[in-house]
Structure 1
Amino acid sequence: MQGIFQTIRWLCMGFAALVFLGQLAMVLMRYLLGVGFLEIQDGVNYAFAALVALSVAVAFDADKHVRVDVFRQTWSDWTNRTIDAAGDLLLALPVFCLMLWTAYPLVRSSWEILEGSPETGGLPGLFLVKTCLLILPALVVLFVLQRLIGVLRRPRS
């Protein structure tokens, strides 16, 4: 499981580099050369969308998601693990399962027509970017289930 999240982490770093370099190239070409390329703009948009979607799973894996650390620092490890497990079970798991359930028809129809850019002359492959709408919740659900199983196996201390 760690290998999957490590791969996603590297993909996110690659997408971040693509967004930065692509945006820099677009700005330089537009203002210095007076030309623009729709393909580069679409590539930056696709990379940014994938980066945003996949970075949620990376944040969950690195335990860097939003929480109130002011309270956590005074509580015991067992209390923090219990609250995390309750949040996973009552919030994260239902929300990301619902996201997976509702995104599937959108992604399926996008793959059926091999959806491309809405712009005339834009890049094909928007269906690949929309697949991130399934990868994101699937990874988070897997991570939450793994963490819940780990909590059940850990002795109370």
Structure 2
Amino acid sequence: MLTVASTIDRAMGGLGEVLKWALPIVVALAAAVALLRYGFSLGYPWLSESFVWLNGAMIFLGAASVYAWDGHVRVDLLYRRLGKRGRAIVNLVGTVIFLWPMLAVIAVKGWPALVRSWSLLEGSPSIDGLPFLYLMKTAVLAFCILTALQGLATVLRSLHVLLRASESSS
């Protein structure tokens, strides 16, 4: 159980390490857009879209690695005070009851738009925009799959804690 969870954690951590190198590119592109627009009164839709889309892709693809590092937002009123077993129960229930169903809804509801986008090889609605909006829409499905996979690591780790706790109490 822990081997599978650790493998998922390492994979998501590695993805996060790769994605963090895109952040300076996003910042440079945003600075270039601002400089061109406000310094030289020039606007390029493809350049504006490039940093917005890259930033969106980083968020969608990096969410699972943030989850792996336990860097997500958590309402921590009680969680901090719980023991290892209590935290495992919260993580298990939260993943099975909230995370996975939410990801399933996003994936199911987004699937028709994704299929349509790929069938059209959909591009930007702007005339001079980027030609691959279908890839950005694919990042939504990737978010669902990667985050659900990281949820599996959480479930396995939680089950390990709970099973170990029940073995030691018997």
TM-score (norm 2): 0.83
Instruction: After superposing the two structures, state which structure 1 stretch, 135-144 or 50-59, moved more.
Output: 50-59
Residue of 126, 136, 147 corresponding to 2:143? 136
Residue of 51, 62, 65 corresponding to 2:69? 62
Corresponding position of 1:71? 78
The CA deviation at 1:88 is: 0.8
Structure 2 CA distance for aligned equivalents of residues 101 and 48 of structure 1: 24
Quick one: which amino acid aligns to residue 52 of structure 1? I
The CA deviation at 1:11 is: 4.4
The CA deviation at 1:146 is: 2.3
Corresponding position of 1:25? 32
TM-score (norm 1): 0.89
Residue of 106, 114, 117 corresponding to 1:99? 106
Corresponding position of 1:148? 155
The structure, 1 or 2, with the larger RCO (C-alpha pairs under 8 Å, 6+ apart) is 2
Structure 2 CA distance for aligned equivalents of residues 112 and 7 of structure 1: 32
Quick check: 1:16 aligned with 2:23?
yes
Deviations 1:34-88 (A, max 9, x none): 3222221111121122123223222211111222324223221111111111111
The CA deviation at 1:135 is: 0.4
Structure 1 CA distance for aligned equivalents of residues 122 and 113 of structure 2: 11
Quick one: which amino acid aligns to residue 57 of structure 2? A
What stretches of structure 1 move > 3 A for 4+ residues in a row? none
Quick one: which amino acid aligns to residue 51 of structure 1? M
Residue of 37, 47, 66 corresponding to 1:40? 47
